[in-house]
Homo-oligomer: A and B are copies of this chain.
Amino acid sequence: MTDAQIDQLISRFASPSAPPPSAAATLAPPLALDDLARLFDHTALKPDTTEDAIHRLCDEARTYGFASVCVNPCYVSLAAEALADTDVAVCTVVGFPLGAMLSATKAAEARHVLREGATEVDMVLNVGLLKSEQYDRVEQDLRAVVEAVRDEHADALVKVILETALLTDEEKVIACVLAQNAGADFVKTSTGFSRGGATVEDVALMHRVVGGQLGVKASGGVGSVAEARAMVDAGASRIGASGSVAIMQELEAEGSA
């Protein structure tokens, strides 16, 4: 897409009354590569993940100083307890990974997970309704979750997962604008459960639309220091990865080489 086409979509869909995102999304200073660990949402969302695996995930997050662990809702309280004495946040997912739940259920789920100890909520946009051009309903769905989160926990973050692998560029731009209209803090590329993950091009496009206002989280398939650096260069302010430890070990090996 050309810059003019992007700007045209932004002005067509942007709401002048969009609520501001939470301070944490926008006021964080640009992170140096030394601070790579603080970019990672250390992630374990597979359905067969055990309690033991969550304990290991939390231990690793504590060791490396990751931004958060990202776990399924059933493990939020376990992770919150394991990380209570650290500054590692507990991130979880809502309406995940299909995004096709009712808005009332997504809002209820958001309230439930915050009460269990999560402070970051990665929700999935309703892709089917976006493709049905039901933009008002898509925005209302996002807004229902943002409002539930703000009501439960003033400082919690909401990230909106677009599932970019399923979207056209035009749909990606519209989705970013709707997320911003709804008051989200971040837009995020992927669930990791669809046919593709984060690409540098998508992160750059999303940053072009929301940059300066919302954070951009690159997730799905980021597995090396080079890939992580490329995402940061394209505008990512958070990286979701299950292989965060391997990336950190690669970085340490670079440093000692």
Chain B hits for A52, CB < 8 A: 132
**Alpha-carbon gap, A51 to B75, bound state (A):** 34
Decide if A47 touches B132 in the complex (CB within 8 Å): no
A172 CB to nearest B CB, Å? 13
**Alpha-carbon gap, A101 to B102, bound state (A):** 15
Chain B hits for A51, CB < 8 A: 128-129, 132, 134
Given the known interface contacts A52-B132, A166-B47, A193-B193, the answer about A98 and B126 at a Cβ–Cβ threshold of 8 Å is no
Interface assignment of A112: CB less than 8 Å from any CB of chain B: yes
Interface assignment of A40: CB less than 8 Å from any CB of chain B: no
Interface assignment of A99: CB less than 8 Å from any CB of chain B: yes
Interface size on A, residues (CB 8 A): 39
Decide if B116 touches A112 in the complex (CB within 8 Å): no
Chain B hits for A139, CB < 8 A: none
Decide if B100 touches A98 in the complex (CB within 8 Å): no
Interface centre among A51, A76, A166 (most CB of B within 10 A): A51
Interface assignment of A119: CB less than 8 Å from any CB of chain B: no
**Alpha-carbon gap, A101 to B94, bound state (A):** 9
Residue interface mask A174-207, B partner, CB < 8 A = 1? 0000000000000000000110000000000000
